[in-house]
Structure 1
Amino acid sequence: MTSKESIINSFIWVSVERISTIGLLFIGTIVLAHFLSPSAFGLVGILTIFTAISMMLIDSGMGGSLIKEKNVSESDYSTLFIYNVGISIIIYLILYFSSGYVAELYCLPELKDLLRILSLTIIFNAVSIVQRIKLTRSFDFKVMCIITVISMLFAILISILLAYKGFGVWALIMQQVLQSLFNSLFYFIYVRFIPSFVFDRKSFRKHFAFGANLMCATLINTVNTNISSSIIGKFFSLQQTGFFAQSNKLYTMPTNIVSSIVDKAVFPILSKKNDLNEIISTISMLSRNIYLITFPLFSIVIVLSSPIIVTFLGDEWQEAAWILSILCCGGIPLVVKLMLRNALKTLGETYCIFKCEFICFIIGLVILLVSASISFRAIIWGVVCNNIILMIAFMIAISNLSFASKY
């Protein structure tokens, strides 16, 4: 199979996976929104940042390094497995014993048990990272698609049943926990990976060195993306937090599809190429096609946010319409930033990514804190401003890189 054919085949299956999972998630959200109150979604929104940050700390960018590597030994896989599982257990214990302090911080006692159960997803996801890397290296995206879709379908159906039976916010928590559990089980069934429990320090240093900058950059980006819900949950009502969490989930769906397609389908292939012009040409072609789809989509949602929210979620969620409309204004620069970031990642410029993310995080944090002292609406516009700043930062980085390559 040629490189072009590999990209097209990978692109198709990853697209099917993401569109299917986003579609299932969207349908599940619609059904659950009719059984659960905005406050239930607000509780989960507050906790999202804790599990999101934890997941970023587990892989440390080493997975990307193994995907990029031409020859990977079993000791490399074993080293990554031991590191992932070990770190995930440590992080889970930290979250478990600090959950009481989190509940006290937000004056919401129920957060204690919710965080302890939700954090199990960290361990479940950690034990299957090696299997996902093996399938990615062999470009077996069809199997990954089937596993992901089936896992999400089972998890959503069970969560809807729990919501119908009156379990409230626990339906949302169990959806995430069960999805990660099913994923891990199916990956273990299909990929017969048995770790040798050999920890190769040389291998660890090599792959950790590659992923360190990328891990820090991704960690900062994760905090930057999820901190708004936690700040809103602290200074505003739980209902407003729920409105924001749902609107944020809806507007990031297109960007999540783009991110997964590029990371899973395109990066493994282009990262092994040495021709800079071919890499840039392929990324430019993909970017144009993605922009043609996402830009009109965001524009439509901006104009029709109110009927979309009322039609799919119900009258109770009417207030989320203006939030979704504003957030979608920041969706366009977010997609541009995402494509530029992946271009830098493919070119191996992980330190450049880290610098951009770090500078923008500081600026974004200032914007968030200032806007939080003004109003709830100001926070929403602050998210849009932050996305625009991120886009500009990555544009400058790409421009400087292009200029440097010429001279």
Structure 2
Amino acid sequence: MSFKKTFFKNVLVTGGYNYLSQLIVFLSSFITARLLLPENYGLVGLITVFTNFISVFADSGISLAVIKSDYRHSYHKGMDGLALYIGLVLFVLTSLLAWPIASFYDNHALILPAIVLSLTFVTRSISIVRGALLSKSLNFNDIGKITLINTIVSILLTILLAYLGAEHWAIIIPQIITSIISIIYYEHKTNLGYHLYPFKYIKIAFRHTRNSIQNLLGFNLVNYWSRNTDNLIVGKIYGVNELGIYNRAYSLLTLPLSLVTGLMGTVLYPSLKKLNSEGGDINKEYTFVLKVISIIVYPIAFIFIMFPTELVSVLWGKNWLEVGTLLPYFGLLIFGQSLLSTTGNVLVLMNKERNLMVSGWFGAFFTIAGIAIGAYYSLQGIAQFYSLFFILFVLPFNMVYIFHNAMKFKLKPLLLFWLPIILLSLGIWLSCYFEHSGAKLILLLMMLVNLIVSSKNEIKSIMSIFMSKISSNRSSSY
């Protein structure tokens, strides 16, 4: 079976579960947004700025190293032990930092929730290698099942606890329960065993993957703060209510990134690993995936940019209308971030983790600079300058440094694909800033025409794959 057919088969399997899970989350937000207030989400957001940063160390590239390597059971057990020890250290570290974190925000109600939430470092560390083994074997059916199960459990618990008046605990407790469910399910499917090998196995396993882990960790650390400095600044300067508003808007940005690029990335890395081992053309197939992503995310960005207030009003009601002022700028970020977010998988596969780290540093500098400048003006200013600096600096740099220099894409096709996206995105940003609806619509339509023209071969290929699938299903039914 060709790469494209295998890739889309796995995407559809994983996507079926993921999209159903996200649909459940999306529909449940109608209820949770009315049971919980912005300050409830904001309080948890204050904690997760730090706990999510510390969680960067939890995986440290372990899952990608397991997928990439050709080592067997002893190596997997060594990496499993490494993940667990890291999880335990992070739990202790976060518990010790709970008081300083609360003091930073001058809110000591954060101490106990921070300690409880840090338990997830231990529980999730046990799932890292087991989940990676399922991905390595392209067993996306089981990965999708546990995603769906955890989503349903989490939503039901959140609604129940919120109804009972648990406030922020309704968001925290389900995270611990679902991480335990993942451990049980993954172990049942992989049979890796809970017995820890001696420490020497952990040292040997780490030695074999040290360079890869170090470079990935270097990228993840700076990439985290490039994506979360805004939460830190909003929480510190504007307070928990505004952070709840900002987080709700940002969740609408991460939702399509999770649904599209997160899904694609989950399937892409092990699929490209298999293609590479068979001597296939990685760049050709990766270009195909990028163009498919650009077409899929366009309608989402269009709605965010053209109808932000209407969307928020329908979804969550009047308590959240301020989210609408941020959405157009996050809608612009969807175009660029959805395309760049998959580069890490390819660079790791090509043993160019250092290029990934340098790209992360560059992007973090300009992202944080934009957020800091925007914070001087307003909450909306953060979203405005965040997206502007991403368009002006991060996209052009990655076009040249990552795609041309590191991945060896030819410059002319790159310019034909990226320049229209960058220039049109800048024009849309200006029309949003000056509130010119007519210009926004015209530029968005130009973006659509550009995407269709540049991706016509990919569209034909997709249609061919699906028509072939339909024909084969019809034949088998007779």
Calculate the TM-score normalised by the size of structure 2: 0.80
Distance in 2 of aligned mates of 1:3 and 1:335: 21
Contact preservation (8 Å) 1:340, 1:394: no
Q: Does 1:382 align with 2:381?
A: no
Structure ranking higher on relative contact order (CA contacts 8 Å, 6+ apart): 1
Residue pairs, 1:228-243, within 5 angstroms: 228-243=230-245
In the alignment, structure 1 residue 16 sits paired with structure 2 residue 16: yes
1:392 aligned partner = 396
Aligned counterparts, 1:113-128, within 5 A: 113-128=112-127
Relative to structure 1, is the Cα distance of residues 223 and 29 closer, same or farther in structure 2, using a 3 angstrom cutoff?
farther
Q: Does structure 2 conserve the Cα–Cα contact (< 8 Å) formed by 1:357 and 1:390?
A: no
8 Å Cα contact 1:61/1:208 also seen in 2: no
Q: Helix, strand or coil: the match of 1:330?
A: helix
Q: Aligned equivalents of 1:404 and 1:308: distance in 2? A: 39
Amino acid at match of 1:396: V
Q: Which amino acid aligns with 1:41?
A: Y
Equivalent residue runs for 1:176-255 within 5 Å: 176-194=175-193, 195-198=195-198, 199-200=200-201, 201-255=203-257
Pairing 1:38–2:52 present? no
**CA contact 1:262–1:342 (8 Å) conserved in 2:** no
Shift, 1:271, TM fit: 2.2
CA displacement 1:293-328 (0-9 Å, x = unmatched): 102221122111111111110111111111122221
Q: Check whether the contact 1:68–1:271 (CA below 8 A) recurs between aligned residues.
A: yes
- What are the Cα deviations for residues 263-309 of structure 1, in whole angstroms up to 9, with x where unaligned? 32111121240578711111111111111110222112211111111
Deviation at 1:249, TM superposition (A): 0.6
Question: 2:364 — aligned with what?
Answer: 361
Mean CA deviation greater in 4-13 or 283-292: 4-13
Deviation at 1:104, TM superposition (A): 1.1
Confirm or deny: 8 A CA contact 2:265 2:342 kept in the other structure: no
Q: Counterparts of 1:229 and 1:48 in 2: how far apart (Å)? A: 9
Alpha-carbon separation, structure 1, partners of 2:390 and 2:256: 15
Structure 2 counterpart SS, 1:252: helix
- Residue 319 of structure 1 is matched in structure 2 by 322
Deviation at 1:176, TM superposition (A): 2.2
Determine the C-alpha separation between the residues in 1 that align with 2:349 and 2:390: 22
Instruction: Name the Cα RMSD after superposition.
Output: 2.1
Structure 1 unmatched ranges of 5 or more: none
Residue equivalent to 1:144: 143
Paired letter, 2:395: M
- Is the 1:75–1:196 Cα contact (8 Å) retained in structure 2? no
- The verdict on how the C-alpha distance between 1:140 and 1:275 changes in structure 2, with shifts beyond 3 A counting, is closer
Asked if the contact 2:374–2:386 (Cα under 8 Å) also holds between the matched residues in 1, the reply is no
Q: TM-score, normalization: structure 1?
A: 0.93
CA contact (8 A) 1:10 1:266 kept: no
CA contact (8 A) 1:88 1:122 kept: yes
Larger Rg: 2
CA–CA distance in 2 between the matches of 1:54 and 1:259?
23
CA displacement 1:49-74 (0-9 Å, x = unmatched):
223222221222122122112x3222
Contact in 2 for aligned 1:51/1:122 (Cα 8 Å): no
Q: In the alignment, which residue of structure 1 is the partner of 2:340? A: 337
Q: 1:396 to 1:113 in 2, by over 3 A?
A: same
* Greater mean deviation of Cα atoms: 288-297 or 364-373: 364-373
* AA matched with 2:302: S
User: What is the total number of aligned residue pairs between the two structures?
Assistant: 405
Comparing 380-389 with 309-318, greater Cα deviation is found at: 380-389
Contact conserved, 1:62 with 1:208, CA < 8 A, in 2? no
Gaps of 5+ in 2: 412-478
| Alignment-mate amino acid for residue 143 of structure 1 | D
CA distance in structure 2 between the partners assigned to 1:351 and 1:247 by the alignment: 32
CA distance in 1, matches of 2:390, 2:41: 24
2:188 match: secondary structure: helix
